[in-house]
Structure 1
């Protein structure tokens, strides 16, 4: 099957699936203003849709704009973020809000280079923002997109690079545009995400064929788990002693790394030590 023919078949498979099974009711697809898109994209980094949806509702209801997010107290911000994990993303998101308010007068830049200068926004997230918020035909990769491309175009290959995937994606977009069919980059990427999520439960993981593939470290007993426990504890108590926080450690790794973890949380601006007690900033 030549390249053009395989792309035509792929496009048919993609749109047939999306038209029948697309997740059209997702709230960040109902409201595609740039604020809602950026919040949802940061939340969706390494966190599944099912966990994000209720948190997204509470977050955007409580902090509905860049200005309210920029001025939110840490306790409120982290309370809204609880359950999503990777709490550092919440601080990055607030710093992004502060820069958008102060540098860009509350308007998200429609420029990928400028987006990637904002805290916590890399190439994948900047591309998603350009596509979902501004409907621009940017090329970007994330886990589901990588899965779809490898499954359809690199079935018998290994050590596939993101450069190969990017080139294939660009060729697909160019081919669709050349056909003079109506093309919405936003809808195209929604379809890619939904199809990739579906494939996850249907075929052996194609992403294992990617050069970037790695197995995520275990969460239970990890430093990341203890970081979350410390923050969750301080959200329920105004202050805590080092001994109280140490009691949260549940593994040898957590006990061994307890002091560095506390220092890291202080350095990142989550907590501070006031006399002999730790408090949220």
Structure 2
């Protein structure tokens, strides 16, 4: 493959590629797998501190499998897409139970684990076991879509299948570990979404998009659809000791399994909050203070959060149990919390509106 796509990419990687990322040290399937899940829809610079803290707390698949789920979620808090963390632990438990704590070096068996798809399984095989396996993450899709001028949004089956064909075509039989890292690095560092540096690209002389000056055209963006908006009251309910009431969300859905604040109907007026809180929670609430609202955007809708702080003199009316707890703020911040809830509990008091 003296002048092939793969060889030119490997030559570039030897000079410019990233070879000292945290998951490259003491490389094994567990460390590679955790990094691959964290890197889904998240940039390397953001992932590194989370990864290092996660591995310090859960150094092995056995440690992750045995950990309390709240502990796992707390170490994921801020990374978003929390189903990844829940699936991560479920997969760890299956590896321990069904594979004696060793990740299988088999594509189909890896894909049978929660949260592991075709590309992630291939990345584990290539990076951890040095098997020839074909990856196709977001960076790779962009490189191949531009190089081969593949029209259309990669979320469409027709387009995705073409990209898989090109990915398979270029994956070499040797140095596959370096190749998979190289093509990911090229997409992240050179063939970037908004400002590709074609003059530094080792593939530019055979890249169709570069030849036609249409790099920005590929890959096509997902068809735009207006995101709906929702609203909610978030209640910061404090007892006389300064503890805050938290509720655990259902295991599936938005913020599944994380601890959050009680919510009230967004149609309520401010003067109705104390009574609604008492009806909803079964304890008298008073001293309503409103704070500046803000918007949190999910992948498929915007949530307008309206925070309200209330107090109660009778916290005993709500006893602690698995899905509801009175906690001091420093205790709450040790749990798995959605980023907006963490901000409400950890940040300075927002300017009161009334």
Give the TM-score of the pair, scaled to structure 1.
0.71
> Do 2:13 and 2:182's aligned partners in 1 also have CA atoms closer than 8 Å?
yes
* 1:91-110 → structure 2 map (5 Å cutoff): 91-110=86-105
1:88 correspondence with 2:66: no
Shift of 1:275: 9.5
Question: Structure 1 pair 76/130, CA: closer, same or farther in 2 (3 Å)?
Answer: same
Between the two proteins, the alignment pairs up a number of residues equal to 239
Unaligned runs of 5+ residues in structure 2 are: 153-157, 198-214, 236-242, 249-259, 265-290, 297-301, 306-320, 337-354
> Do 2:36 and 2:120's aligned partners in 1 also have CA atoms closer than 8 Å?
yes
* 1:118-267 → structure 2 map (5 Å cutoff): 118-154=113-149, 157-159=150-152, 161-173=159-171, 176-177=172-173, 183-198=174-189, 199-200=191-192, 201-202=195-196, 204-205=215-216, 207-209=218-220, 213-214=221-222, 239-240=245-246, 244-246=261-263, 250-251=294-295, 254=303
Shift of 1:36: 0.3
Shift of 1:17: 2.5
For 1:132 and 1:79, locate their aligned partners in 2 and report how far apart those are by CA, in whole Å: 28
For 1:99 and 1:88, locate their aligned partners in 2 and report how far apart those are by CA, in whole Å: 16
Question: Structure 1 pair 275/28, CA: closer, same or farther in 2 (3 Å)?
Answer: closer
Give the TM-score of the pair, scaled to structure 2.
0.58
Question: Match of 1:254, SS?
Answer: strand
Which segment is superposed worse, 188-197 or 137-146?
A: 137-146
> Do 1:146 and 1:207's aligned partners in 2 also have CA atoms closer than 8 Å?
no
Question: Structure 1 pair 92/215, CA: closer, same or farther in 2 (3 Å)?
Answer: farther
Greater C-alpha radius of gyration:
2
Shift of 1:93: 0.4
Shift of 1:62: 1.0
Unaligned runs of 5+ residues in structure 1 are: 178-182, 231-236, 257-270
CA RMSD of aligned residues (A): 3.8
Corresponding residue to 2:70 among 63, 75, 81: 75
For 2:230 and 2:35, locate their aligned partners in 1 and report how far apart those are by CA, in whole Å: 26
Question: Structure 1 pair 244/192, CA: closer, same or farther in 2 (3 Å)?
Answer: closer
Task: Give structure 1 regions of 4+ aligned residues with deviation exceeding 4 angstroms.
Answer: 203-207, 215-219, 241-244, 274-277
Question: Structure 1 pair 64/150, CA: closer, same or farther in 2 (3 Å)?
Answer: same
Corresponding residue to 1:29 among 24, 31, 42: 24
Question: Structure 1 pair 275/74, CA: closer, same or farther in 2 (3 Å)?
Answer: closer
1:48 correspondence with 2:46: no
Question: Match of 2:139, SS?
Answer: helix
For 1:222 and 1:97, locate their aligned partners in 2 and report how far apart those are by CA, in whole Å: 35
Shift of 1:95: 0.6
Question: Structure 1 pair 193/218, CA: closer, same or farther in 2 (3 Å)?
Answer: farther
Question: Structure 1 pair 255/162, CA: closer, same or farther in 2 (3 Å)?
Answer: closer
Question: Structure 1 pair 12/255, CA: closer, same or farther in 2 (3 Å)?
Answer: closer
For 1:13 and 1:141, locate their aligned partners in 2 and report how far apart those are by CA, in whole Å: 19
For 1:69 and 1:162, locate their aligned partners in 2 and report how far apart those are by CA, in whole Å: 33
